[in-house]
Amino acid sequence: MEAPNHEFIDQMHAETISRLLLEPSPDAMQAYYSKLTKAHNYSDVEVRYINSRIGKGVFASKSYESNELILKEHMLVGAQHTQNKTDALVCSFCFCFIGSIELQIGRKLLFLSDKNSQSSDGHVEDSTEIESMTHITDLNSCAGNLKTPRNIDKEKGSNEDLSSNAAESLINGNIQLPFSSLFSLPAVVFCIGGCEDEFFCSEKCAKAAWESYHSLLCSGPKSLCKDKDFLCKFIHHANETNDIFLVAAKVISSTILKASSLEQLKHKNDPKKCYTSEDCINCLLEAWEPFSMGFKRLWWDSIALPIDLGADDEIGFRNEIKELASHSLKLLKGAIFEEKYAPLFSLQVYGHVIGMFELNNLDLVVASPVEDYFIYIDELDGKEKVEAEKFTRPLLDALGDDYNVPCEGTAFFPVQSCANHSCVPNMKAFKRDEDKDGQAVLLATRPIQFGEELTISYIDEDASWEERKALLKDYGFICMCPKCIKES
């Protein structure tokens, strides 16, 4: 059965769509964030409603010293950038690096080798080739320990066949680099559905991803999606255009799965009750609650305009963005559409979800252990360093500037997204050495008093007042922080 078009959904489900996009009341907002902060033990911060103009904000529930940790928060939803997957093999749920130092380096070398050979032929890879590069490695041999790794003999300086087959040998576990055991990573765990796109650090993360969103978005043989052809077209389109569509799909998928779970629980608790369409809508609204809290505007109305775009071209540009989202949603509907959850597939809902990420997302960055490994080798002394660099120096030279590429993506964090902007923020997102996964880490930039509002900067606060004002225009407000008042 073909999914209905956008216009039909908007007309037939206008009331439910309005309820999905309705801004929560101050009481509902306060209740949700109180429950959230208590459940995750975020006791040192509080989300409060300020007023109708500003909305909500985050406040300190204790005093902080400069550089003290304020909040370490799990994401609600996020995704690694497609282009980054060849540089960083990470858990698709918590985004920590996985496998081994050898596997991480081998994948990079393999991709660079393929990229260089294509460049010499005058060929430019498209997203399909980049997608395939993320899973062409023989991960089974690495994860399952099917081959016995050969330790490089540091004493004898053996470097047998390292130059010709380095990538394959590193990937397949046939070579163990000196001192790499000091940088052990979680073993690779494969997707429950059998796809070759998602990998995990543990069975726990694999199960959590499957139950929360991935079972509908998996391209493997056990996928619960309605049409894999449409799903593959959707993924390819997102990779070709904007991978923010992949994050939006996770929102839709997770809401469907949670709403379905709530319905099943209600039926189990009261099997004799006759459930109506209104009961189904109530389950949908309950599942949607975490995403209802995020500040939203339509993506095509809130996206930042290209610098070189003329004033006369703005309407055309925004219409192109809307059409891009419309086509993405059409493909997603073909893949996972559920009639009883049809309001979720409204273009208005889809546009607001993407707009929420445009306005509230935090860059997802996890430092690469490969960088730590090469720094460790460089800091060795005497003979140990000389012997180790016989094997690591050729690898480092081959990788060039790409040796330290981190995991990069985009994510939505419920509490962090409530923090208001200031050009003199008292809080910053900053990963410490011990932060090895995709959680948001927020530190104090100066001493903070109990009850003080916690702010971050949405832009480069070192820019001029005119530049900051222009950058904040896309967020829909004029900053009135002390710095802007003084400079204006």
CA distance 420 to 292: 18
Which homologous superfamily is 40-74+413-488 in? SET domain (2.170.270.10)
How confident is the model at residue 139, as a pLDDT? Answer: 47
Is residue 100 within 8 A of residue 184, CB to CB? The reply is: yes
pLDDT of residue 122: 58
Residues 5-61: pLDDT tens digits? 999 999 999 999 999 999 999 999 999 999 999 999 999 999 999 998 889 999 999
- In the chain, pLDDT over 70 holds for what percent of residues? 89
Q: How far apart are CA 231 and CA 435, in angstroms?
A: 34
Q: What is the spatial distance between Cα 146 and Cα 169, in angstroms, rounded to a whole number?
A: 13
For residues 465 and 472, give the distance between their C-alpha atoms in angstroms, rounded to a whole number: 11
Res 128: pLDDT = 53
291-331 pLDDT tens trace? 999 989 999 998 888 888 887 899 999 999 999 999 999 99
Confidence band, pLDDT 50/70/90 cuts, at residue 140: very low
CA 333 to chain centre: 22
Q: Which residue has the higher pLDDT, 30 or 166?
A: 30
Phi, psi for residue 316 in degrees, rounded to 5? -65, -40
Q: How far apart are alpha carbons 168 and 177 in whole angstroms?
A: 14
How far apart CA 421 and CA 257 sit, in angstroms, is 34
More confident residue, 181 or 162: 181
- Mean pLDDT across the chain, nearest whole number? 88
10 Å CB burial of residue 154 (0-12, 13-18, 19+) is middle
CA dihedral (323, 329, 333, 337) in degrees, to 10, reads -140
pLDDT tens-digit profile of 328-350? Answer: 999 999 999 999 999 999 999 99
pLDDT band at residue 134 under the 50/70/90 scheme:
low
Beta-bridge partners for 176: 151
- State how far the Cα of 127 lies from the Cα of 207, in Å rounded to an integer: 28
Give the rounded percent of residues in the chain with a pLDDT score beyond 90.
72
488 or 357: which carries more pLDDT confidence? 357
Given pLDDT bands bounded at 50, 70 and 90, which one contains residue 123? low
Here the tokens at position 417 are: 């997204």
pLDDT, tens digit (0-9, with 9 covering 90-100), for 382-405: 999 999 999 999 999 999 888 899
Q: Lowest-confidence range among 40-49, 174-183, 272-281?
A: 272-281
Q: Smallest Cα–Cα separation from 180: which of 367, 368, 372? A: 372
In the predicted structure, residue 459 carries a pLDDT above the cut 50: yes
Overall size of the chain counted in residues: 488
Is pLDDT above 50 for 116?
A: yes
pLDDT bin (cut points 50, 70, 90) of residue 475 is confident
- Mean pLDDT, residues 104-114: 87
Check residue 477 and give its pLDDT: 86
Q: Please say whether the beta carbons of 469 and 458 come within 8 A.
A: no
Q: Does the pLDDT of residue 129 top 60, yes or no?
A: no
Report d(CA 294, CA 276) in Å as an integer: 29
Q: What is the pLDDT of residues 217-261, one digit of tens each?
A: 999 999 999 999 999 999 999 999 999 999 999 999 999 999 999
Domain extent listing, the chain: 1-24+210-364, 40-74+413-488, 99-185+369-404
